[in-house]
Amino acid sequence: MQTRIRTQGLPLTEELRSRAERRIQFALGRFSTSIRSVSTLLADQNGPRGGIDKRCSLIVRGRGWQVVVHDDDADAGAALDRAAERAARSVARKLDRLRDASWSEGS
């Protein structure tokens, strides 16, 4: 599973990069054989004005499928945590559907 982390309007500190890598690995690691890549974008929507303006976008790509998840929060780390959990649930559903479809084709 290849992981790419980018920021827009936020500094990509070593602490933020490390947290993102750990969080993504924790949430999606069990699907690593089915996932080709995970692209993460952490963005500050409003700049210095503050508020609920940090957005985490995750794009999880597999063989012939992808899942896109967004989450917003005042804290980039919290947005990342929730987006990673939502991505894990979405990937689990996607893989279940693919498995069910291939099983019913084989019947």
- Mean pLDDT, residues 28-52 taken together: 89
pTM of the model: 0.88
CATH code of the domain containing 82 = 3.30.160.100
Say how many domains are in the chain. Answer: 1
More confident residue, 36 or 99: 36
Q: Which domain holds residue 47?
A: 2-106
What does the pLDDT read at residue 102? Answer: 79
Half-sphere exposure at residue 10, Cβ-oriented, CA atoms within 13 angstroms: 25
Phi-psi region of 78 (alpha: psi -120 to 50; beta: other; left: phi over 0): alpha
